[in-house]
Chains A and B, each alone.
Chain A
Amino acid sequence: MSYLRMLAAGIAAAGLAFAGTADAQTPKRGGTLTYAISAETPHYDCHASDTFATLHFASPFYSTLMQFDLSKYPGVKGDLAESWTVAPDLMTYTFKLRSNVAFHDGTPLTSADVKATYERLRAPPTGIVSTRQATFGDIDTIETPDATTITFKMKAPNPAMMEHFASPWNCVYSAAKLAADPNFPRNNIMGSGPFRFGEHVKGSHVTGTRNERYFEPGKPYLDGFRGVFMSQPAAMLNALQGGQVMAEFRGISPAERDRLVQGMGDRVRIEESGWTLNLLVVFNVEKKPFDDVRVRQALNMAIDRRAGAQGLARQATLRDVGGLVRPGSPFAIKDADLAKVPGYGTNIAAARAEARRLLQAAGASNLKFVLHNRATPQPYTPAGIYLVDQWRQIGVEVEHRQSETSPYLAAMSSGNFDVAVDFSNLFMDEPSLGLAKYVSFDRAPENRSRSIDRELDRLYDLQSRERDTTKRYDIIRQFEARMFEQVYQAPLLWWHRIIPTNKAVMGWEMSPSHNLGQNLAGVWLNQ
């Protein structure tokens, strides 16, 4: 295996070097990129989704106000915005929009469309879900002095606001379409992105063709793309090896990487990175006995994350033990401090003894429940297997039930589960973004535990407005300590991203988030 790893590393390094050379080449126009998408989106609405399946499907059809500059990650750059100014007190953001942008139906895109989009994101009408409601809660008013100018006035300063504006989830929708039907984007695609919608055959594929009126001159380079839904990793790996698909942009496991490198040799490019994504164990606090903090604490501390990280890292996309903020990022908890938290340290025997005591005290010694999990093999299945084993060791009987992405998310949203494997899918290392998932359910629908905790809300608001990094670090630790104590949701392990692409795929940029860089505008084929 060491030979395989060395080979993989060598090819990855060679791939990166080659990519650097190729990027300097003149991009070629033409060709159709075929790539695998390992889950099918439950709907088309970016605002209501937090699964990559929606972005890998819909990103090429949409524009956003700002976007991340992946060559300078985590820097941001304009997408629809041509220029912008930020008031020194961070209370006003003014954007000047490009004037040559049109939706795919030919209607011009103006500041009114951007305003309608952000109004829907921060205060969705009744019956519409925006999982970014908490993120944009600081926006007070949105003004549109003219067709190409939009101004955001804030209730309070938010140091991460520019990054929030660059979120790939903020697909800009047509104000006219939203006025006619606020739910229009859920079942229809009509954007201003580099590709026009072709077709979506459920269970099979999605296609897009070049938007000849795209606002960036010369782009996109591709004639079109075809995203093929492949939930089984074995099928996806075979398709990559056989050339039926040229990339998979979410991530594969180390074992799958080794298999590809062995099978494809220098035809594959492997790129690796940390991943702004973690798996969570979520307890539905509206269901008994998970409304009892002792039961939640017991189940949390029975999980040996240190051993799990070592064992699972070889076969799954999971790798790092961490808290609520990604390990290694500026606001992450120090490992020595994390090791003191039961379930996150090394003394698992003591933690499990305490877990049994807590269950007994809560009258839940013979606890049985269903673990609701997603039927996406990586890394949900290995994580589910591991959790079942860990809880059996404190005498808890668990039925592992996996569902496809749509029913899985539907159950999560409706609260139709006891305990679930959830994910925190971030697009950057910004605590306000990551911690939004843990604030009260009435403020953040993406909080699947349905918990209401005003202390967490208070600390969240406090940290999001704090501009002194040391003070902010301390507030985040308080927030984290409160979450470790109440355990509405508990981080399991953080992910590690490995991306395989055919060497012919050029112009795609690697990042720590699988949500970024998926509009494919700069991608071209060297063949």
Chain B
Amino acid sequence: MATVSQPTVTYNIRKRRSALVEFCIAQPLGAISGVAILVMLFAGMFAELVAPFDPLTIDFGAMLAAPSATHPMGTDAFGRDIFSRVIYGARTALTIGFFSSLFGCTLGAVVGVSSAYFGGRIDMAVQRFIDVMLAFPIIVLALVVVAMLGRNLVGGVDVNLIVAIAIPIVPKVARVVRSAALSIREMPYIDAARAAGFSHTRIIFRHMVPNVSAPFLIMFTAFIAQAILLEASLSFLGLGVTEPTPAWGLMLSGNASDFYREAPWMILFPGLAISVAVFAFNLFGDSLRDWLDPKFKV
């Protein structure tokens, strides 16, 4: 039986790295911040498993205890374990941060794209309204909204607080997205869609919105940081989350101001948690922008 040998063919094809690996190599700081975010997400989602104590249980016997093996971050004036409260606080911060940013950015993107698409008087009116909204500092606007809406707990989450934080985000996102959408509006495929008789809604949502996803994603990430900071500020001012819910901003207020000299850990660790969260989301957002935006690649 004759044996036919197959010729060996060598293909010199470079293996494609996954997008994740590429991101990690190109943006190491972004990767580190991404890990920090994942850790916070994990802690927040599985707080019941991670936290050594119930964050609400009062133990006056352990009142103002210094950091130790039992209480790694010490205890507060009610003897509550600060480490457990910081972990549960991640859940509060990320829930409110994520949904506020998602709601604010989505609404802002729709407003921005619609404004760019319709142009003319509609664009003019929308942009002047956005100018007015942008004139208010973000914290002032959120304060007004939260004072007007009051509280509305759904499943343990204050929906009105999310709305109050989301509203100041809307004009900022709308302005940025509009500028991106203005160039998309001039693209031939948009003209083609118009010529084909597609509705405005279809053109906006099927053909324009997906094309502003890069700036949307970057802003969504960055505004999570702002939303976390805003939630902490509102809680610190007594307008956000109420006691005894574990929340980082709330942990800095109340009797923390009376005991911070005696028990500095009461403000140190929640403050650190806010800083790390805000820093991580900002850094991740910046890295994402650098990685996605071709201008920055050049």
Interface residues of A (CB under 8 A from B): 1, 231-234, 237, 253, 255-256, 258-259, 262, 307, 310-311, 314-315, 375, 377, 381-382, 384-386, 388-389, 392, 399-402
Across chains A and B, the number of contacting residue pairs, with CB separation under 8 Å, is 63
Interface residues of B (CB under 8 A from A): 56-58, 60, 63, 77-79, 151, 153, 238, 242-244, 253-255, 257-259, 261-262
Q: How far is the CA of A377 from the CA of B56 in the complex (A)?
A: 18
When distances are taken between beta carbons in the complex, the residues of chain A under 8 Å from B57 are 389, 392
Q: Do residues A401 and B242 form an inter-chain contact, with CB atoms below 8 A? A: yes
The listed residue (B244, B257, B258) touching A385 by CB distance below 8 A is B244
Residue of B57, B58, B78, B253 with most chain A CB atoms under a 10 A cut-off:
B58
Q: Do residues B262 and A1 form an inter-chain contact, with CB atoms below 8 A? A: yes
Query: Which A residue sits closest to B244, measured CB to CB?
Result: A385
A401 touching B151 in the complex, CB below 8 Å, given contacts A255-B259, A311-B58, A385-B78: yes
A-B contacts, 6 of them at CB < 8 A, read A234-B257, A255-B77, A392-B56, A401-B151, A402-B242, A402-B243
Q: Do residues A389 and B60 form an inter-chain contact, with CB atoms below 8 A? A: no
Q: Do residues B153 and A315 form an inter-chain contact, with CB atoms below 8 A? A: no
Interface class of chain B by DSSP: loop
| Closest 7 pairs between A and B when the two form their complex, measured CB to CB | A311-B60, A255-B258, A389-B58, A234-B257, A385-B244, A315-B77, A385-B243
Residue of A307, A386, A389 with most chain B CB atoms under a 10 A cut-off:
A389
The listed residue (B58, B238, B242, B255) touching A232 by CB distance below 8 A is B238
When distances are taken between beta carbons in the complex, the residues of chain B under 8 Å from A388 are 56, 244
Query: Which B residue sits closest to A1, measured CB to CB?
Result: B262
Residue of B56, B153, B242, B255 with most chain A CB atoms under a 10 A cut-off:
B255
Query: Which A residue sits closest to B253, measured CB to CB?
Result: A234
A311 touching B242 in the complex, CB below 8 Å, given contacts A377-B254, A381-B254: no
Q: Do residues B153 and A399 form an inter-chain contact, with CB atoms below 8 A? A: yes
Q: Do residues A314 and B77 form an inter-chain contact, with CB atoms below 8 A? A: yes
When distances are taken between beta carbons in the complex, the residues of chain B under 8 Å from A255 are 77, 255, 258-259
Q: Do residues A384 and B63 form an inter-chain contact, with CB atoms below 8 A? A: no
When distances are taken between beta carbons in the complex, the residues of chain B under 8 Å from A258 are 258
Q: How far is the CA of A255 from the CA of B257 in the complex (A)?
A: 9
Q: How far is the CA of A382 from the CA of B262 in the complex (A)?
A: 19
Q: Do residues B262 and A233 form an inter-chain contact, with CB atoms below 8 A? A: no
When distances are taken between beta carbons in the complex, the residues of chain B under 8 Å from A385 are 58, 78, 243-244
CB distance from B192 to the nearest CB of A (A): 55
When distances are taken between beta carbons in the complex, the residues of chain A under 8 Å from B153 are 399
CB distance from B77 to the nearest CB of A (A): 5
When distances are taken between beta carbons in the complex, the residues of chain B under 8 Å from A311 are 58, 60, 63, 78-79
Query: Which B residue sits closest to A407, measured CB to CB?
Result: B150
Q: How far is the CA of A401 from the CA of B63 in the complex (A)?
A: 25
The listed residue (A237, A315, A392, A400) touching B255 by CB distance below 8 A is A315
Q: How far is the CA of A381 from the CA of B244 in the complex (A)?
A: 9
Q: Do residues B258 and A259 form an inter-chain contact, with CB atoms below 8 A? A: yes
A314 touching B243 in the complex, CB below 8 Å, given contacts A377-B254, A389-B58, A392-B56: no
When distances are taken between beta carbons in the complex, the residues of chain B under 8 Å from A253 are 255, 258
When distances are taken between beta carbons in the complex, the residues of chain A under 8 Å from B255 are 253, 255, 315, 382
Q: Do residues A386 and B58 form an inter-chain contact, with CB atoms below 8 A? A: yes
Known A256-B258, A386-B78; further 18 A-B contacts with Cβ < 8 A: A1-B262, A232-B238, A233-B257, A233-B258, A234-B253, A253-B255, A255-B77, A255-B258, A311-B58, A314-B77, A315-B77, A381-B254, A385-B58, A385-B243, A399-B153, A400-B242, A401-B242, A402-B243
